[in-house]
Structures are given as structure tokens and as C-alpha cells.
Amino acid sequence: LGNQMLFNTYGRTAGMLGKYVGISMQGNWINGQGFRQNSPTKVQNYLLDAVYKINATNTFKAYYQYYQYNSYHPGTLSAQDYAYN
């Protein structure tokens, strides 16, 4: 296998800031080589969640996500070759 290692890391923290506001932050990173030669992979995924308790029966929730994916796919056609075929 050589250095064909793919690493997956995940982290999360969350909590309430006082009685009415809560936040959650998550991050996921995937880096390394797949099982094929020349298949570098890099993924970054970040999530932010927030909640605001307006009163006993109503809440406001918000979500934000950033996702970036870079990977090569050995053995697949390039965009030019695909268009030609």
C-alpha cells in the first residue's frame, strides 16, 4: 500500500450561552490518498448552528455550512475527452 493513507478527523463543541442562546460548531477534515495511485483527496466541512429561545413555546434556529471538496479521479475521462466522445 505504501503511503496510500486517508485520514478523517472530526471535532465538535456546543453549549448554551446563558439561558436563551446556544451554539454548536463542527468541523470535519478528510486528507490523504485513496486506495488508487495519484488520488489525492482533501475535504473540509464546517457547520455552525445557533438557537435562540424567544419564549417557552417559540425558538429561532439558524444553520450555516461551508463545504469544500478537492479530489482527482484516476481512470476517469477528462472534460475534453468526455465532450469528444
Q: Which residues contact 51 (CB under 8 A, 6 or more apart)?
A: 21, 22, 23, 59, 60, 61, 62
Instruction: Let me know: does 49 contact 17? Beta carbons within 8 Å.
Output: no
pTM of full prediction above 0.95 = no
What's the pLDDT score for residue 40? Answer: 82
57-78 pLDDT, tens digit per residue, is 999 999 999 999 988 766 667 7
Beta-carbon neighbour count of residue 55 at 10 Å?
7
Q: Which residue has the higher pLDDT, 64 or 84?
A: 64
Q: How confident is the model over 10-59, as pLDDT tens digits?
A: 999 999 999 999 999 999 999 988 777 777 889 999 999 999 999 999 99
